[in-house]
Amino acid sequence: MNSWITNWNKIKIKVKQIIKKQPGKDAESQWTKCSCQEIIYKEDLQNYIKKKVVLEVKNLSLNNSFKNISFSLHEGEVLGFAGVIGSGIDQLTRVLYGFLKPTTGKIYINEHLVDLNNPKDAVKNGIGYLPKDRRSEGLIQFMSLSNNLTLTNLNILKKYGIISRSEEINLTNEWVKKLSIKANNVDILCNYLSGGNQQKVVLAKWMHAGVSIMIMDHPTRGIDVGAKKEVYSVIRDLTNSGISIIIVSDTIEETIGLSNNIIVLKDGELQQIVKSNKGNKPLPIEILKYMV
Amino acid sequence: MKYIIKYSPIISLFTLLFAIGIHTPQFLQISTFIIIAEDAATLFIMSTGIFFVIMLGGIDLSVQSIASLCSVILALCLPQFGYYSFFIAILIGSIFGLISGYFHVTLKIPSFIATLATGGIAASLSLVITNASSIQILQKEKHYISWITETSFYIPNEILVSFSIFILCWFLINYTKFGRYVTSIGAGEAVAWTSGIDVKLNKYFALILSASLAAISGIVLSSRMSAGSPTLANEFLLPAIAAVIIGGTALTGGVGSIQRTLIGVLIISVLRIGMTFIGINIFAQQLVFGCMLIIAVALTIDRSKIPIVK
């Protein structure tokens, strides 16, 4: 038993060293996240909820997945979705982006009733989607960075009806600089970018398209600690500029750290909307008790 | 190695020209090149259409039947409708594109089957309306087709027609939203869909474009032969697909260019004319195209990364 404990300690030390060597200088804080939560999730930059409702969902149901979900999303709010696998949060996010059609219920965007039949409708209504699976839904792997980035809004590149390549390069360079994407040139295939940089390209793709609501499905999945922090600060920048965010996250701590309100689903039913304001964050256990 | 594969189409084009030129020196003449360009013109128009569908990640097998059908329709309509018959032929061609689009996009049938079926419909329709015989374009109607058959500035007009289609399609794939969307759907359909692109509409457009271009190639072909026949464009499908693939457009979609298709078409035409110069049996041509197609497909896609081939 003793030898086991010493071995375990050795492993722990090694893990710490490995984390230190990853990009992101004070990654140590991630390791002891309970004490440093506010720094990691940039809580000091968190917005207070504004009054304006941008998205309202009323009695939304989908067969076998969830029923009678109602909530509203305010301007500049980060709304966290929490729930175990099978609780219906995956389906709920996909309904909100038009992948799935709800069986009953209504969705209002800026107080207008909308019909989201496919992602195209969602984009038209100013919703952006950061997918869980970057490789298959986020970026076209064997297409250049610039082409991927401009895919969501080619209209701004048009001059006399022609897509202007120089405009495209300018726009890409601007966003590469803004989000500090590490890429040798704008024509590099996205396949050669690291996970974190790919995620930043997906973010940029929606940011220049001028969305007002972002649905982020596991935004920090499979990216390194340094890139995670940058994603968090992008989230704060977005909300400060008035964009509302719906977030489904890998860890409950991340959801708590980032969100203003947390919707907890269990077996397809809305259990509770937990407030998670700046300086008054709930403990994970308070969310977990509704989840299971 | 990467560069060799990238430039292999143009290298093989010149190698072919030299090889045939060494065997029969009279091959390397301006007049031969014009014959090659004339031969390439119709094939190129057809290949361009297929190029768009292949860029999408699909395939269009209906082009040769649509081209034949449109040649028949042109020959039938010319006495009555004059210049309007060109529009009628293109319109009917694009309707067949719409039908393939409906099968493929709305009914969600794989493009292979959908266009094969549409091609079958078009082929048998042209056989039915002509009773399986060819229809001559009479001498008094020849002036309608003179804009295709005549020459201007020593260049046959059909070459100019196909060159303008080249310019148009080059512009379409490189500088329009449609072109960009076609490329991205071919490279990653799920991403394109998630990015809010109307995938269905663009697929419809590509199939209609392909069928319309097939119709135009049928028109050019029938003007050249001054006849419309239900079997006029037979033996065109394999060379047309081969040209796109030999040029270096990946069969999986998303990678390729119209210039490459042009080079592919030129390779096919040089082969075709060259083989008659050397004296190879005309029936062996498809054999050569078949082999070329396999070699090109094997070269363009790195198969080590593909676990499953359907």
> How far apart are the C-alpha atoms of B14 and A82, rounded to whole Å?
63
**Cα B163–Cα B164–Cα B168 angle in degrees, nearest 5:** 120
A25-50 residue pLDDT tens: 454 444 444 444 445 777 767 777 77
- Does pLDDT of B144 surpass 90? no
Tokens for B293, please give them.
């197609």
Whether B183 and chain A come into contact, CB under 8 Å, resolves to yes
Q: ipTM above 0.90? A: no
Identify the pLDDT of residue A245: 92
B36-76 residue pLDDT tens: 888 888 899 999 999 999 988 889 899 989 999 998 888 88
pLDDT band at B205 (very low <50, low <70, confident <90, very high): very high
CB B221 within 8 A of CB B93: no
Tokens for B84, please give them.
């309007």
A134-158 residue pLDDT tens: 888 888 888 888 888 888 888 777 7
Q: Quickly name the fold that domain B2-304 has.
A: ABC transporter involved in vitamin B12 uptake, BtuC (1.10.3470)
> How far apart are the C-alpha atoms of A126 and A109, rounded to whole Å?
9
Q: Which residue has the higher pLDDT, B60 or B4?
A: B60
Comparing CB atoms, the residue among A118, A137, A151 nearest residue B190 is A137
- Answer yes or no: do B188 and A129 touch at CB < 8 A: no
> How far apart are the C-alpha atoms of A143 and B255, rounded to whole Å?
9
Comparing CB atoms, the residue among B183, B190, B197 nearest residue A136 is B190
- Does pLDDT of B149 surpass 80? no
Express the helix, strand and coil content of chain A in percent, nearest 5 each: 45, 25, 35
Q: DSSP class of residue A111?
A: T
Residues in chain A with pLDDT < 70? 1-39, 44
Distances (CA, A) of A153 to A156, B42, B170, B233: 6, 37, 22, 41
- Does pLDDT of B211 surpass 90? yes
- Answer yes or no: do B194 and A161 touch at CB < 8 A: no
Collapsing DSSP to helix, strand or coil, A74 comes out as: strand
- Answer yes or no: do A154 and B196 touch at CB < 8 A: no
For chain A, how many residues are written? 292
Average per-residue pLDDT in chain A?
Answer: 82
Q: DSSP class of residue A144?
A: B
Optimal mutation site among B176, B194, B200, interface A, most CBs of chain A within 10 A: B194
CB B181 within 8 A of CB B202: yes
Residue with tokens 């989201």: A116
Other Cβ atoms within 10 Å of B280 Cβ, number: 14
Give one word for B25, left, alpha or beta, with left for phi > 0 and alpha for psi -120 to 50: alpha
